[in-house]
Amino acid sequence: MKKIILFLWLVPILASAQTKDDSVFIKKMSDDILQNGQAYEWLYQLTKNIGGRLAGSPQFNKAVEWSKQTFDKIGADKVYLQQCLVPHWVRDGKNDRVAITSVNNKLYINPLDAFALGNSLGTPPNGITAELFAVNDFDQLEKYKDKIKGKIVFYNYHFNPTNISTFLSYSDAGKYRWMGASRAAKYGAVGMLVRSMSISTDNNPHTGAMEYNDSFPKIPAAAIGLQDADKLWKLAQISKIIKVNITTHGKMLPDTTAYNVIAELKGSIFPDEIITVGGHLDSWDINEGAHDDGTGVVHTMEVLRALKAAGYTPKHTIRFVLFADEEKSGRGAEKYAATAKLNNEKHIFGFESDAGGFTPRGFSFHVPDSSWIKLNAWKSLFEPYGGSVFVAGGGGADTEPLEAAFKTPVAELNPDSQRYFDIHHARSDVFENVNRRELLLGAVNITALIYLVDKYGL
C-alpha cells in the first residue's frame, strides 16, 4: 500500500520534469508541421493523380508505387513492400442502376441514386425486377418473414442522430449493410436495398463492404441515398405494390496480389522493439478515398517527415505501414501480423489513423490498466493541440490482428466525427473536403504521441 502511494506521488513529479522538455519539443514539432508539413500536398497527389484505389485494382498498384517513392524521398532508413493476397471484387465498369418501375401496377419510372455494395454479386444484364418490401429493421423482417419470398427487401434503418459520436451510430446501422442481404435471402428475397449509413443533407449513396452467408442465395445488394430512401419509404406506406429494378455488375474474380507498403526508422537503443504507425492505402472505387483513408496515409508519412525534420533519433524501431485492403477484407493487416509472428518480432505499440482528417479531439486506447497512469500524465501535453480527450476503446481495424497476435497496446486517432459520415464511402469523399489545417493538426497530435511512446514506453 505504501509503495503504491509513493508511486502515485512520484508520477506528477516525474511528469512535470518530463513535460517541460517534452512540451518544448512538441511545440517545435508542431510549428514545423503547421509551417512545412507536406501532408496536404501528398494527399493531393494521392487523390487527384491516382484517385479511388480498390485493393486489386490498377489504381491501387499505382498507389503502392507512389507511396514507396514518397517514403524513399522523405528518407526512411528502409522502404519495402509486403506481398499479400486479397479478394478481387470489381464493380465491372458499368453504372449501378436502381429504379422504381411501377406503383400499383402503373408505369412509374423513377431512378434512385444507388451504388452496389462491395463484395456483392451483379444481376443478369437487364437486372432483376421485383416487388419491394420495406422494413425499418431486422425485427420487422422477422415479423413479416412469410411475406418476403420473391421480393426486394429495403432496410430503411436510420442512422441515430442523437449520438454525439457518429461512430456509435455507424456501428449500430452498419449491420444492415454487412449482413442484410443474406438475412433477407434466408426468407426468399431476391434483392436488397439499404438506406445509406449517413446523416448527410445530400442524396449521395454510401457504398461499403457486405458479406454473404454461404447458406443462402447470393442476392444483389445496393445502398441508396437518404432523400431517395425517405421518398421510397413514404411511397411504400401509401402504395399497395411498388416494383423496383436493380441492375448491378459486381463480380468476384480469383484472389489477386496486393502489397503493404512499409518504411522504417531504425531504433537506436531497442532496434528489435517495434512501434507501428499506419493507415490503409486502399479506398473505395467511387470516390478519391480522401478522408477514408487518404488522410491516414499522409498522416503516417507526415509523422516520418516531422520526426526526421526534428532530428529525432528513435529508441525503438518505428514502422510506418500503409495497409492493403482494409475496406474489403483486412488481409493486409492480417499479413502484417502473421509475418511479425513468423519472424518472432516484439511489438510494443500499434497506432492507426482511419477516422478521417478532421480536427483532432483525442485518442482511443486499448492498453493495460497500468498504462493509464502514464497516459493521464501526458494529457496536458496534448491540450494545446486539441488532442487531449483520451478514452478507452479499440485501435483501428488494421491494428487488430497485431493486438490479437501479440497483445500489443494499440491506439487510434479520434478526429471530430460530425462530418465524417456525410462523405464516408460516398462520391463526396474527395480532396476538396479535407481542410489543410485540420489535417496537419492531426499529424501534430499523432507525432507527439509516437514521440512520447518511443521515449517513455507505454
Catalytic residue numbers? 326
Among 105, 126, 201, 370, binds its own copies (CB under 8 A): 201
Q: Which is nearer to its own copies, 317 or 445 (CB)?
A: 445
Q: Which is nearer to its own copies, 34 or 179 (CB)?
A: 34
Among 1, 13, 164, 238, binds its own copies (CB under 8 A): 164
Residue 123 CB, shortest distance to its own copies, in Å, is 35
- Point out which span in 8-16, 96-104, 405-413, 437-445 binds its own copies (CB under 8 A): 437-445
Residue 305 CB, shortest distance to its own copies, in Å, is 16
For β-strands 106-112 and 389-392, DSSP reports them as unpaired
What is the C-alpha to C-alpha distance for residues 90 and 270, in angstroms, rounded to an integer? Answer: 43
Residue 389 CB, shortest distance to its own copies, in Å, is 9
What is the C-alpha to C-alpha distance for residues 446 and 233, in angstroms, rounded to an integer? Answer: 43
40 binds its own copies, rule: CB under 8 A: yes
Among 170, 349, 378, 385, binds its own copies (CB under 8 A): 385
Among 436, 455, 456, 457, binds its own copies (CB under 8 A): 436
Provide the 3-class DSSP secondary structure of residue 448.
Answer: helix
Please choose, from the candidates 443, 425, 453, the residue with its C-alpha nearest in 3D space to the C-alpha of residue 365.
453
On the CB side of 329, CA atoms within 13 Å amount to 21
Q: Which is nearer to its own copies, 27 or 308 (CB)?
A: 27
437 binds its own copies, rule: CB under 8 A: yes
Q: What are the two backbone dihedrals, phi and then psi, of residue 380, each rounded to the nearest 5 degrees?
A: -65, -25
166 binds its own copies, rule: CB under 8 A: yes
What is the C-alpha to C-alpha distance for residues 457 and 391, in angstroms, rounded to an integer? Answer: 19
Please choose, from the candidates 273, 448, 303, 306, the residue with its C-alpha nearest in 3D space to the C-alpha of residue 375.
448
Among 87, 332, 386, 396, binds its own copies (CB under 8 A): 386
What is the C-alpha to C-alpha distance for residues 387 and 53, in angstroms, rounded to an integer? Answer: 30
Look up residue 216 and give its DSSP letter: S
Site for its own copies in 133-162 (CB under 8 A): 161-162
Beta carbons of 245 and 101 less than 8 angstroms apart: yes
Neighbours of 352 (CB within 10 A): 31
Q: Which is nearer to its own copies, 294 or 386 (CB)?
A: 386
Residue 358 CB, shortest distance to its own copies, in Å, is 8
What is the C-alpha to C-alpha distance for residues 71 and 78, in angstroms, rounded to an integer? Answer: 9
Q: Which is nearer to its own copies, 31 or 72 (CB)?
A: 31
5 binds its own copies, rule: CB under 8 A: no
Among 19, 23, 34, 129, binds its own copies (CB under 8 A): 34
328 binds its own copies, rule: CB under 8 A: no
Q: Which is nearer to its own copies, 371 or 435 (CB)?
A: 435
Among 128, 199, 252, 310, binds its own copies (CB under 8 A): 199
Beta carbons of 191 and 117 less than 8 angstroms apart: no
Site for its own copies in 64-93 (CB under 8 A): none
435 binds its own copies, rule: CB under 8 A: yes
Residue 418 CB, shortest distance to its own copies, in Å, is 4
What is the C-alpha to C-alpha distance for residues 207 and 293, in angstroms, rounded to an integer? Answer: 15
Annotate each residue in 395-434 with x if it binds its own copies (CB under 8 A) or - if it does not, as one string. Answer: ---------------------x-xx--x------------
Q: Which is nearer to its own copies, 410 or 439 (CB)?
A: 439
What is the C-alpha to C-alpha distance for residues 69 and 72, in angstroms, rounded to an integer? Answer: 5
Neighbours of 109 (CB within 10 A): 9
Which residues are 251's β-sheet partners?
A: 90
Q: Which is nearer to its own copies, 62 or 158 (CB)?
A: 158
Residue linked to cell 514502422 = 319
Kindly report whether the peptide bond that precedes residue 293 is cis, defined as omega within 30 degrees of 0.
yes
**Edge-to-edge strands, sheet with 316-323:** 78-90, 251-265, 316-323, 270-280, 346-352, 410-415, 360-366, 389-392
343 binds its own copies, rule: CB under 8 A: no
Please choose, from the candidates 312, 270, 293, 327, the residue with its C-alpha nearest in 3D space to the C-alpha of residue 57.
327
310 binds its own copies, rule: CB under 8 A: no
Count the residues of the shown chain that bind its own copies, applying the rule CB under 8 A: 25
Among 85, 359, 394, 403, binds its own copies (CB under 8 A): 359
- Taking each helix axis as running N to C, give the angle between helix 295-309 and helix 58-74, from 0 to 180 degrees, rounded to the nearest 10: 10
Task: Kindly list the residues in this chain that would bind its own copies in the complex (CB under 8 A).
Answer: 30-31, 34-35, 40, 161-162, 164, 166, 199, 201, 359, 361, 384-386, 416, 418-419, 422, 435-438, 441
